[in-house]
Amino acid sequence: MLKLRRFACEDLETGCVTDEARPRFSFAFESDRQGASLREVVLEVNGWTWRGTDEVAVRYDGAPLSPCTVYQARVCATDDAGESAEGTLEFETGLLGGSWEAEWISDAAYRFDEKGVAPVPMVFKHAFSLGGKVRRARVYATALGIYDISLNGQRVGERYFAPGFTSYGSTLQYQTYDVTKRLGSSNELVVTVAGGWAVGPFSYTRKNRVTADRQALLLEVRVEYADGTTQVLGTGEDWQVTEDGPCRMACFYDGETYDARVSLDNVTWRPAAREALRVSPALVAEDGAPVRAHEVMRPVSCTKVGDELVYDFGQNFAGVVDLVVDGHESQTITVRHAEILKPDGTLNTDFLRTAKATLTYVCREGRQEFSPRLTYMGFRYVAVSGVDEGDIKICAHALYSDLRTTGEFGCSDERLNRLQQNIVWSSKSNLMDIPTDCPQRDERMGWTGDIAVFAPTACYNFDMGRFLRKWLRDLRSEQYRTGGIPVTVPAQGFGFPTTIPPMAVDFWGDACVLVPWALYQAEGDVEVLRENFDTMRRYVDACRFWARFGVGDYCYIWHTPAVLHFGDWVAPDVPKMGQWQARSKWTATASLQHTSALVARIAKILDEKDAAEKYGRLSARVARAYRNVFTDGHGRLKQEFQTAYVLPIQFGMLEGDELRAAVKRLSQLVEQGGYRIGTGFPGTPYILFALADNGEKDTAFQMLECTSCPSWLYEVVHGATTIWERWDGLDENGNCPIGDDGTDIMISYNHYASGAVGDFLYRRVAGLEQLEPGYRRSRVQPLVGGGLCSAHGAVETPYGRLASSWKLDGSSFSLEVEVPLGTTCEVVLPDGSTREVGCGSYAFSCEVEGAR
């Protein structure tokens, strides 16, 4: 039977509100008939009809869509046996770039000049009446700051931190809320606006007021009556504002202070004033993945330590606590957060740096509930003071962007299963509207280097389309005129390096190439390459500019001062930041070769022939320079460290005897190091591939399964529930050994970058890999090794579920494969035999020589 598996507009199956004039539609069908194929798909939208067999990103090409309108789309497919399936969805247009009748408002009397702190939250309110029976009503809202809306005393929407973090100088999202069933004849809107990223402190420099001197609000209520008339009620000078609301302080780094004794009925209000903004961003309907509450986390223990109750949630995560308290008037409860404990059982907050990560709640009389709305923390432990254990119940909510889970992995080694869980939890904790570096200290910034290396793994575990497209738009808007990319996006006042003109930074800037490429591989939509191609070219040109200083081969060796790079960032085989940076000649040169090769490949896909030739030629010359300058001409490095071997091996810079010699030497270095990891950010995603794909499978598995520090499983066996920023985050006794290494005691215990090993788990251990973008053609080729006797993996491709599950019993190997409709799959067994299959479920077996 043919069934519709998924139907989406702009990657959303429900709730899509878009300002795209030509929205994208995607659909996936499934069949229980082996070898089935689609004969025709028909898509109908607004009187427009499309016919074909593509299922990925079909763009609407009909009559212009009207703003603020609900449309229905219908899809119907017929397969080669004549069976059919169909389905419908609704999507909605936003304002489509039209003008707002509302005006930006703020409190003209409010000033705050103190550096490093957050502004007092503003509360806006407005009462209004309606003149008839309502057929449809929407609230459109945005702010400079972050806002929270209530209508008639009830919260509107489930989002946190709206309107989201964007490059505010160019783009500001607005949200759409259906309030049709919530309106009465008389109504009151109350909107709290905190500083957020636009006005509050951001980055470890705690620079505030980057985008605006104070918060501002823009909101419209659009009401359609049953008689066909329309009424628009917008923010203006008839609104009221106060800074005397119950939320006294809200800051991403410091937390939230809330006084439950305060009633808005008893505070002093004054008229709001029109606000002239310092920026003029385009207002677009939300096109990212909004932050929402997900898992409910409950404590696994509670211990009295001094005057505090210390709760352990058993999992490091990003989110907020929820308190239910039997309290007394003016009783003050304080909640502190931390990732780890000190040996005496108290919270270790040393690594939060300036972030206070503290909630302060002042009670009213009686039973009450509180959960912060305008901040979040990264934590496993909380310490609560000011209340007896019997008078409080506590749980927490994990917060992260609303991402559809697309991948799963498991195997016979529970330590690797815990590693996979750690990767997923660090992903969730740091996919917080933008791809952040950590959720706890005074950063939480969009570091480009982290997502550059992690994007392939993220795209296995989650549907990253909306999330990454939004972020890439900001990256494009913030590219320097010289072509370099900020090391954090949105930069929001943070600048590195400070050279004039701004320099390109290897691997961190590579995100403009590596992230669109990873998304293209996962989704198969060529438009993500087209949208970012000019940015890629300009970036590689900038890298080439900074690498050109020299003669002969040195003209292709990128050797600008090390302090302007990150180099082999957090490589565990050297202890100091300066030593990581000193490796930048190798990492930067390899980066230039890799990005230019990828841009050449992308240019061919986009039929940009001149660019393909230009960047292909550059890539070859850089590869030759790397070999001539850094090696002895026979594959051995003059200065040896793991990353310096991994990058040229993985990026195809070596071949023949040189490649074999380099791989052998890398394997020897790993063996001599006790199979412990020695790579920093640039090399970590690739080291297992560099070994396993070049005849050193056993070395790769021994490194993967190593439990000595530094290694992935060292973290696991020492109780990690997320990925650490530093391999040596805790010693054997549970203490942090990091000293004065130049990083200002930089250690996060929830940092996804080295979790890029997840790519190896999916592509090699489970054996799932795309041969064509979007998995139109795929390969299932499990790599059997180490102590594993079984593994399974699955990924929800644009066409449906691709899955593998294998077992090894002695020398007998069995494999089950599931292939989605509309695709083909090459199945390669450990004995080398190959099968080509289409849609359906299959079972294979063979004998494996030398199996453990």
Catalytic positions, please? 443, 725
Burial of residue 710 (CB within 10 Å: 0-12, 13-18, 19+) is: buried
61: its two tokens: 């090409």
Backbone angles phi, psi at 499, to 5 degrees: -65, 155
Token match 């320079």: residue?
625
DSSP one-letter code for 743? S
- Report the distance separating Cα 267 and Cα 475, nearest Å: 42
Which DSSP category does 695 fall into? T
Question: For residue 395, how many C-alpha atoms fall within 13 Å in the half-sphere facing its CB?
Answer: 10
What is the DSSP secondary structure assignment for residue 625, as one 8-state letter? H
Tell me the CB-side half-sphere exposure of residue 163, using CA atoms within 13 A. Answer: 28
Q: How far is CA 216 from CA 64, 73, 283, in A?
A: 33, 37, 14
Cα–Cα distance, 659 to 656 (Å, whole number): 5
- H-type alpha helices, 168-272: 196-199
Can you state the percent helix, strand and coil of the chain, rounding each to 5?
25, 35, 40
Burial of 41 (0-12, 13-18, 19+ CB in 10 A): buried
How far apart, in Å, are the Cα atoms of 343 and each of 218, 317, 322, 733, 766? 50, 21, 27, 9, 40
- Cβ atoms within 10 Å of 790's Cβ, excluding its own: 16
What does the DSSP 8-state code read for residue 391? Answer: G
Q: Supply the DSSP symbol for 125.
A: E
Q: For residues 36 and 275, give the distance between their C-alpha atoms in angstroms, rounded to a whole number.
A: 60
DSSP letter (8 states) at residue 738: -
**Tokens linked to 291:** 């932050």
H or E segment at 422? Answer: helix 414-430
Q: What is the dihedral of CA 474, 480, 483, 486, to 10 degrees?
A: -60
Q: Would you say 21 and 290 are in contact if contact means Cβ atoms under 8 Å apart?
A: no
Residue pair 65/20 in contact (Cβ under 8 Å)? The answer is no
Place of tokens 């969805």: 89
**Pairing of the two strands 340-341 and 347-348:** antiparallel
Cα 474 to Cα 470: distance, rounded to the nearest angstrom: 7
Query: Going by C-beta distance under 8 Å and a sequence separation of 6 or more, which residues neighbour residue 237?
Result: 103, 105, 271, 272, 273, 274
DSSP SS3 for 383:
strand
* Three-state DSSP state, 359: strand
Determine the distance from the C-alpha atom of residue 672 to the mean position of all C-alpha atoms in its chain, rounded to a whole number: 36
Non-local CB neighbours of 805 within 8 Å, separated by 6+ positions: 790, 791, 792, 793, 815, 816
∠ CA 420-423-427 to the nearest 5 degrees?
140
Contacts of 847 (CB under 8 A, 6+ apart): 811, 812, 813, 831
Which helix or strand (DSSP H or E) is residue 425 part of? helix 414-430
Q: What is the DSSP letter of 833?
A: -
Q: How far apart are CA 789 and CA 358, in angstroms?
A: 46
Instruction: Mark residue 262 as left, alpha or beta (left: phi above 0; alpha: psi -120 to 50; beta: remaining).
Output: beta
**678: which 2 tokens?**
């020695």
Rounded to whole angstroms, the Cα distance separating 302 from 103 reads 50
> Which tokens go with 692?
């396993």
